[in-house]
Amino acid sequence: MPWQYKIGYLIGQPVGISLSNGQGTSGILCGTSGRKLLVMEYLYQAQFALKQYNFTMIQDINGFPPCPHQNRLY
């Protein structure tokens, strides 16, 4: 399935994004605007940035999988 069809299901979710140049990024998918993905990314400490990625830069996008069931630590 082309990655563009995944956008509607992934808005508001944590995603991993593969870029065409071989790099990748992750963050919360906030939506789209003018053929750009809007992604809230963590920078450092308590700072976040809303970044924009042109559709032409994107190779694929995937939601994060759920955490495996683990015993609670007390």
Confidence label for 73 from pLDDT (cuts 50, 70 and 90): low
Domain 3-63 CATH class label: mainly beta
Q: What is the reported pTM?
A: 0.86
How far from the centroid of its chain's Cα atoms is residue 69's Cα?
23
Tens digit of each residue's pLDDT (9 = 90 or more) over 9-26: 999 999 999 999 999 999
For residue 31, CA distances in Å to 14, 44, 57, 71 come to 12, 22, 16, 35
Q: What is the pLDDT of residue 65?
A: 92
Contact 58, 18 (CB under 8 A): yes
Closest CA to 37 of 61, 59, 49, 55: 55
What are the strands, taking DSSP E only, across the chain? 14-19, 24-32, 36-44, 47-54, 58-63
